[in-house]
Amino acid sequence: MLKKSGSVLALLSLALLFTTSVLAAWGGEPDGNQHPMVGALFFDFDEDGQITMFDLDCSGSYAGVSKDGLHDVFLTAAHCLAFTPSIGSPPAFISFDNDLSDSVSGVIQAEDYTWNPKFGHDMGDLHDLGVVLLPAGSVSGIQPVELPPAGYMSDLLKKGALKDLDVDAVGYGVIPQWKQAGGPQFSFTGLRNMAKINVIGLTKANVLYNMNADATGDGGVCFGDSGSPQILAGTRMIISVTSGGDGLCRAHNYNYRLDTPQARQFLGQFLELP
C-alpha cells in the first residue's frame, strides 16, 4: 500500500471529488521500454528535497516540443494539477524511469504547469487536460506521443470501427486486488505497467472503457494512472487521457478525448496539432 504522504492524500481527496478520479495499469504486464514516452508526475509534498516513488501524483506522456520551441510538453489530466494553490506552485517534477521502486532516475524539474481554465465547470465535459512545461531539450532520446486528427474517434464511430480498437493503457498507478480478506486492497509497485483495454462507447467528451476483468479478460487503470495515455496498439497515437472511473477500479472507466474541438482548443495553445 502507499504510505500517507501528501501525494496520496491528494489522490484520495480527488477520488472523493470525482466519484473516483483515477487512477498502474493492472491486469497486464510491466511495460519495460515499450512506451518510453509515458512518464510519472511528482510533487515533493513532504518537502524533503528528494523525489521518491511515494511522491507520485499522476501519470502522463511526453507530447513533444512546444509551438514556441521554449519547452518540452508533458501531457496529463487537469485534476492532477488543479489542487495546487496556484499555477506553477509547488514545483512539479517528471521522470520517464520505468521502475521507481529502487530510486527515481532522470528527474526533470518543470518550469511551469497549467490546466484548462474550464476544468470542473461542466460535469458533462470536465475539460480534464493539463500540461507540464519542461525546459527545452530536457527530454532526449524519446519520441513523443502523436495526437489524433480532429474528429478521429467520431469518424471511427461512424464507420463502426470503434469497438475493434486495440488500446494500450500505460501508467504507474496502483494494482487492485479485490478478493482479499477484509475487502479490496491496492498495492503500489512503482513500475510502469501496460494493459489491454476495451472501448465500449463514446460521449462528446470521453472515451469509455470496460474494466470488468471477469467479462473481458483484460485489464484497466487505477489510482495514480490519472493523466496516463490510452494509445492505439502498435502506434504512438494517444486517443485519450485517464480521467475517472469507479471506486474499486473494476468496472467502468472514462477518459478525456483528444480529438474534440474543446480538447484541441486547449492543446493548440502549446502544441502543433495534426
- pLDDT surpassing 70 at residue 108: yes
The pLDDT of residue 23: 38
Q: CA-CA distances (angstroms) from residue 233 to 108, 165, 168, 220?
A: 28, 8, 6, 15
SS3 call for 176: strand
What pairs with residue 73 in β-bridges?
64, 133
Domains observed in the chain: 6-23+36-144+261-267 (2.40.10.10), 152-257 (2.40.10.10)
What percent of the chain is modeled with pLDDT above 70?
A: 77
Stated as kind and residue range, the H or E segment containing 252 is strand 252-257
Among the residue ranges 37-46, 139-148, 223-232, the one predicted with the least confidence is 223-232
Helix count and strand count (H, E) for the chain: 4, 16
DSSP state of 55: G
- pLDDT surpassing 80 at residue 81: yes
How sure is the predictor about 29, in pLDDT bands with cuts at 50, 70 and 90? Answer: confident
pTM comes to 0.86
Cell numbers linked to 207: 472515451
How sure is the predictor about 13, in pLDDT bands with cuts at 50, 70 and 90? Answer: very low
Q: What's the average model confidence in pLDDT over 130-154?
A: 97
